[in-house]
Every structure is written in C-alpha cells, then in structure tokens.
Chains A and B, each alone.
Chain A
C-alpha cells in the first residue's frame, strides 16, 4: 500500500513569490491535514480537509490556503512568500475510522 506522497520534496523561492505544494493521501483516506515544521515554532497545524471541505484551520494568516479534490488529493498554497515561511511542510492522511495519522516525508521550502 503506497504511503502519503508529497511533491515537490525540495524547492527554493524568493520573497514575494507564491508556492503550491501537493499531497496524495493513502488510498481510501479522505481526510488530509497539513502541518508546518520550523526550528523555532516546531510543528504547527495548518488546516484539515475532508471530502473537499475544510474542517479545521490553525492560526496562520490568509496567505496560507488549501484545497482538496474529489480524489482526496490536496494542495496547499502560500502567497507573497516571506523569509519566515521557510519550513518543512508535512501532509498527513487519516483513515475513515479512528486511527493514526500517516505522514508524508514533507516538502522543504526555502525562501530567499
């Protein structure tokens, strides 16, 4: 069974640009969550999608947005990038019934 797949794994952007990250959940998982990991703030919840609807949202500015498609794949977008957005962005999928989160390997974003 394939795991959670995130693309791209690494990317470099400059301030003011925007970026889109992609996440393919485990087959059969309809819930996808996104987390930001930085050395200073640690792991922080960004948002969660289920059946194409955002169910929960963390405390991040509106520059951070996401969406989920009918096949459960999810994307997150960060607009007007700032240096502080440099981070590892982790996606996790969740099975239909109670169970653990399965994390991808992450997309490492560097903003110059």
Chain B
C-alpha cells in the first residue's frame, strides 16, 4: 500500500538557519504530494503541494520539489524563524481520492532565537 516516511524529529535549529525535512514515499501510480503544518493546539494547515513530477510547491518561504526518480518531496527553507516552530507532516493522496491522505509520522521543529 501507499506509505510516507519522513525524517524523525525532533529537530532544533537556531533562527535564520537552513531547514531540510526529508520525506520519501511509496505509491502506485502518480500521487499528489503535500506538506501540512500543525501549530500547537490547532488543526492541520496546508503548507504547500505538488501534483506531478518536477512540480515545485512553495509558500511562506518553504519549498518542496516532487522528485519521481527518488520518490521524494523534501521540505526546505532558507532562513527559519521562531514562528516556524510546529509539527510538519508530509502526505500523499491518490489521484481521484484527494480526501484520503496518507501521512508521515510528523517532524517536530523547534526554532530557538
């Protein structure tokens, strides 16, 4: 079945550091890929997405590129801020089943000033 594996946390960085959170997937066909973020006490918010190979999703300084050859969708940000502290989830959905997401285990990110 489909699955998502992401880098285990927690990850602690200093403000303005470079961030990478690794995500790889296993899926049949051509899934859509997502990064969701969960701030303390809140639900999930979509951070960015990509729907086909070589697409780059970007939002709020975060980027991720859909790499079919390596089945990866790594999240990057050039300069993190304290406000980026949250739990980040990589996820995929099958075509035509956008409502059924398969999530990675989540990576807790803490940014220190």
Interface residues of A (CB under 8 A from B): 4, 31, 33, 35, 42-45, 48, 50, 55-56, 58, 90, 92, 94, 98-101, 103-106
Q: Does B70 contact A (CB under 8 A)?
A: no
Interface residue tally of chain B, by bracket? Answer: 20 to 34
Interface residues of B (CB under 8 A from A): 34, 36, 41-46, 49, 89, 91, 97-106
In the bound complex, what is the Cα–Cα distance between A98 and B37 (angstroms)?
Answer: 20
Whether the pair B46, A101 counts as a contact (CB closer than 8 A) is yes
In the bound complex, what is the Cα–Cα distance between A69 and B58 (angstroms)?
Answer: 36
> From residue A97, how far is it (CB to closest CB) to chain B in Å?
10
Q: Which 8 residue pairs spanning A and B have beta carbons closest together?
A: A103-B43, A43-B103, A103-B44, A100-B46, A33-B99, A48-B99, A105-B43, A42-B105
Whether the pair B100, A105 counts as a contact (CB closer than 8 A) is no
Whether the pair A90, B43 counts as a contact (CB closer than 8 A) is yes
With A42-B104, A42-B106 as known contacts, state yes or no: A103 contacts B45, CB within 8 Å.
yes
Partner of B99, one of A42, A43, A56, A90: A56
**A4 proximity list for chain B (CB < 8 A):** 43
In the bound complex, what is the Cα–Cα distance between A33 and B43 (angstroms)?
Answer: 13
Given A50-B99, A106-B43: 18 more A-B contacts, CB < 8 Å: A4-B43, A31-B99, A35-B101, A43-B44, A43-B91, A43-B106, A48-B100, A56-B97, A56-B100, A90-B43, A92-B99, A94-B98, A100-B34, A100-B46, A101-B98, A101-B99, A104-B43, A105-B41
Whether the pair B43, A45 counts as a contact (CB closer than 8 A) is no
With A42-B106, A43-B89 as known contacts, state yes or no: A90 contacts B100, CB within 8 Å.
no
In the bound complex, what is the Cα–Cα distance between A58 and B97 (angstroms)?
Answer: 13
11 contacting pairs across A/B (C-beta < 8 A): A4-B43, A31-B99, A33-B100, A43-B44, A50-B99, A56-B99, A92-B99, A98-B98, A100-B46, A103-B43, A106-B43
